[in-house]
A = this chain, B = another copy of it.
Amino acid sequence: MPHVITKFERANPNDVAALARFGSATIHEAQGRLGALSSRIKPIDRDMSLCGPAFTVESSPRDNLMLQLAIHYAQPGDVIVVSAGEYEEAGSFGDVLGNACVAKGIAGVVTDTGVRDTAELIRLGLPVFSLSVCIKGTVKETLGQLGGPIIVGGQEIRPGDVIRGDADGLVTVRREDAAEAARKSAARQEAEAEFIEAYKSGRTIIDVCNLEAVLKAKGLTTDL
């Protein structure tokens, strides 16, 4: 297998666009509580949000050679997703590479190690999700792989799968499930809107969620 695999199928752009309209928690629930990455990986600014096909990077801790190559080989709209050993004490990405990403049209960067130059990255408007913020430099020595399956935040992510992130965290959707996940997310969002309306109209949670029978079956007792 070559180090760099560029020829993989990406999720349908329409499905990606559809998924971008829903929050990561909604998508996670809609596809059956699957695909959530570890809550330790977070945006460097809570207004950041991204959605796109994953351009996957298998890299060594404290080494950003493959991340640099990823910027070269990724396509506009891709989200670069890096597996680098869950190492907090390294800053593998900063404003110089951030500018390279923006110039290339990259939709965002996700990594399980640290980043730096956060003020500049926020100004650049590039969505960046990381395990930590750390100023410590990295090297460019070890080959890894681009475009293979990786594990980040306890989830397998294949090249071309959708990755969606917002203030709450990240979720991945298999590229072949993207259309259905978007449909189910829309349905869930609609259902949630109805729940919210019900609460606003004064209905109680036991009533709205039909908990009465469930609670009776479970044997709930009260002092009322």
Chain A interfacial positions (CB closer than 8 Å to B): 2-7, 23-25, 28-29, 33, 36, 38-39, 42, 46, 60-62, 68-69, 71-73, 85-91, 94-97, 99-100, 103-104, 114, 116-119, 132-137, 139-143, 147, 149, 151, 154-156, 166-171, 192, 195-196, 199-200, 202, 204-206, 208-209, 211, 214-215, 218-224
How distant is the Cα of A156 from the Cα of B157 in the complex, in angstroms? 11
Report whether A142 and B141 are in contact in the complex, using a CB–CB cutoff of 8 Å.
yes
Q: Given A46-B118, A99-B200, A222-B6, A136–B39 Cβ distance below 8 Å?
A: yes
Q: Given A39-B88, A71-B205, A135–B171 Cβ distance below 8 Å?
A: yes
Report whether A2 and B221 are in contact in the complex, using a CB–CB cutoff of 8 Å.
yes
Report whether A25 and B135 are in contact in the complex, using a CB–CB cutoff of 8 Å.
yes
Question: Which of chain B's residues has its CB closest to A2's CB?
Answer: B221
Each complex incorporates copies of this chain amounting to 6
Q: Provide a sorted-by-A list of 21 A–B residue pairs whose CB atoms are within 8 angstroms.
A: A2-B222, A2-B223, A23-B119, A28-B136, A36-B135, A39-B89, A39-B133, A46-B118, A61-B62, A61-B90, A68-B209, A69-B220, A73-B222, A95-B196, A96-B199, A97-B205, A99-B195, A116-B169, A133-B167, A133-B168, A139-B142
